[in-house]
Amino acid sequence: KSKTSDDIIPRNKKLREFYDKKREEGKPFKVAVIACVNKLLHWIFALLKSKSTFQDIA
């Protein structure tokens, strides 16, 4: 299966790099997406816990 096209502009470069890394490791699409969702949930929880706003530094 092919990697998602580079025509898609990622909203978050760190998350896109993480997704691409998982795909290069040979993970299936759904496994890579669930890993990204899990990482995003951890980020959201950390923001809520610290009561801070998201700042994209990428």
CA dist 19 and 24 (Å) reads 9
CA dist 44 and 49 (Å) reads 9
Asked if 12 contacts 55 with a C-beta cutoff of 8 angstroms, the reply is no
Note the pLDDT tens digit of each residue in 2-41: 556 666 666 788 899 999 999 999 999 999 999 999 999 9
What pLDDT was estimated at residue 48?
94
- Tokens matching residue 46: 């950390």
- Tokens matching residue 12: 């978050």
| Residue ranges per structural domain of the chain | 22-50
